[in-house]
């Protein structure tokens, strides 16, 4: 393959080379001045330029006031300047009125940020106080969801869901707006769809062993709901309900049982059951078997037993009366209508008793029975946590 070589043509003799273009600023050919020449040029420029008026030195927080001369300061014998007694106290803010002839940057259209001095700082406004709770309306109305909860129709969350779906009627009229209010004497009814949805919710009974917590996992301990699996269902469960994964959704404990206690624990999807067992006005009895010991191995005095039954306070609140009896030399039977945190253990500690073991065997008329530890079963249709006679 042939290679083509290009050569630059020679400059003809009769053609002069193009003149070199001058630089843009025209300083390329100017020789550099020597150091002596540069110093002489600078001195010449300084001599020709007018000298600025000298200003007296001031301190950082002093401002000149037009029309007033600063008095001279006398020197002391030690060489230090005598302090000016007429100077304003720098610990106080300078409240002098600005002179109208003095330029004020704040009057211009352009915003100039002012840097505050330390003596110009003002104390921060106090934090806003929390508003007191709203008082009950004077017309005596209640929120519809709260009224439905009081009547035992549904929990507040369930009621809000049903209201949004249009399943609630007040005096025969559909109410679908959340936050609606009703009078106590008004009649409330719900749609059949709400009843079917509520009936499909389940309640589970567990014989909780030691080492599981009632609610959410904490400190590395698993919740009791992990036991609700098809493998752990009690073989003698006669509820007729078939296990489904949907039964684990929103399955929450209705009452607490601490990690060191065993026995009957209720998990439910039904808000009515939860309110019946742990509501503020709940009076459902819970029965416990408690193994105890005294520090000196002596019998518990009768006065201490009477104090356990009635007279103790927890968290500044008087406890309800309880039924407490001896089963044998080291075991007590507690029947309570309250469910405060670690209530029985704290009651025993108040009278000098040490709790060695605690087991819940009954909630209302529902018994633990022969349910083995770690197993569970469904609450049957013929079982209910009905109210019993309160403890005396």
Active site positions, annotated: 258
Sequence-distant (≥ 6) Cβ neighbours of residue 366 within 8 angstroms: 205, 264, 379, 383, 384, 385
Burial of 392 per CB tally in 10 Å (0-12, 13-18, 19+) = exposed
Evaluate whether 203 touches 253 at the Cβ level (below 8 Å).
no
Quote the CA–CA distance of 145 and 351 in Å, as a whole number: 43
Tokens of 130: 């929390």
Lookup result for tokens 């002069």: 16
Evaluate whether 331 touches 292 at the Cβ level (below 8 Å).
yes
Backbone angles phi, psi at 331, to 5 degrees: -135, 130
Evaluate whether 347 touches 308 at the Cβ level (below 8 Å).
yes
Quote the CA–CA distance of 309 and 303 in Å, as a whole number: 10
* Sign, Cα dihedral of 168, 169, 174, 175: negative
Sequence-distant (≥ 6) Cβ neighbours of residue 54 within 8 angstroms: none
Quote the CA–CA distance of 89 and 227 in Å, as a whole number: 76
Output the DSSP codes for 266-319: EEES-HHHHHHHHSTT----EEEEEEEEETTSPPPPHHHHHHHHTT-EETTEEP
Q: Partners of 173 in the beta sheet? A: 170
Sequence-distant (≥ 6) Cβ neighbours of residue 237 within 8 angstroms: 377, 378
Residue 223 carries which DSSP code? B
């Amino acid at each position: 393959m042939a290679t083509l070589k290009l050569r630059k043509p020679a400059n003809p003799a009769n053609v002069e080379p193009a003149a070199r273009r001058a630089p843009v600023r025209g300083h390329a050919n100017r020789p550099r001045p020597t150091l002596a020449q540069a110093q002489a040029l600078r001195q010449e420029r300084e001599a020709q330029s007018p000298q600025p008026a000298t200003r007296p030195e001031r301190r950082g927080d002093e401002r000149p006031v037009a029309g007033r001369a600063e008095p001279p300061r006398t020197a002391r014998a030690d060489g230090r300047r005598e302090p000016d007694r007429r100077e304003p106290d720098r610990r106080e803010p300078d409240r002098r009125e600005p002179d109208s002839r003095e330029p004020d940057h704040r009057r211009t259209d352009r915003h100039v940020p002012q840097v505050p001095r330390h003596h110009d700082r003002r104390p921060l406004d106090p934090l806003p106080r929390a508003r007191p709770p709203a008082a009950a309306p004077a017309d005596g109305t209640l929120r519809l969801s709260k009224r439905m909860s009081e009547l035992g129709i549904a929990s507040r969350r369930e009621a809000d869901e049903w209201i949004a779906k249009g399943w609630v009627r007040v005096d025969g009229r559909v109410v679908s707006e959340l936050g609606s209010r009703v009078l106590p004497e008004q009649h409330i009814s719900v749609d059949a769809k709400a009843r079917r949805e509520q009936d499909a919710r389940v309640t589970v009974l567990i014989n909780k062993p030691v080492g599981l917590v009632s609610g959410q996992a904490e400190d590395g301990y698993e919740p009791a709901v992990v036991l609700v699996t098809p493998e752990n269902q009690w073989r003698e469960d006669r509820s007729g309900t078939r296990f489904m994964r949907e039964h684990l959704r929103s399955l929450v404990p209705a009452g607490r049982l601490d990690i060191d206690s065993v026995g009957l624990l209720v998990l439910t999807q039904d808000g009515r059951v939860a309110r019946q067992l742990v509501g503020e006005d709940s009076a459902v009895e819970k029965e416990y078997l408690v193994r105890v010991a005294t520090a000196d191995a002596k019998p518990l005095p009768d006065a201490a037993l009477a104090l356990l039954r009635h007279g103790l306070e927890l968290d500044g609140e008087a406890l309800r009366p309880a039924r407490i009896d001896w089963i044998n030399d080291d075991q007590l039977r507690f029947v309570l209508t309250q469910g405060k945190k670690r209530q029985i253990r704290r009651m025993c500690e108040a009278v000098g008793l040490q709790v060695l073991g605690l087991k819940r065997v009954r909630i209302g008329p529902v018994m633990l029975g022969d349910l083995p530890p770690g197993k569970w079963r469904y609450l049957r249709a013929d079982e209910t946590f009905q109210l019993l006679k309160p403890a005396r």
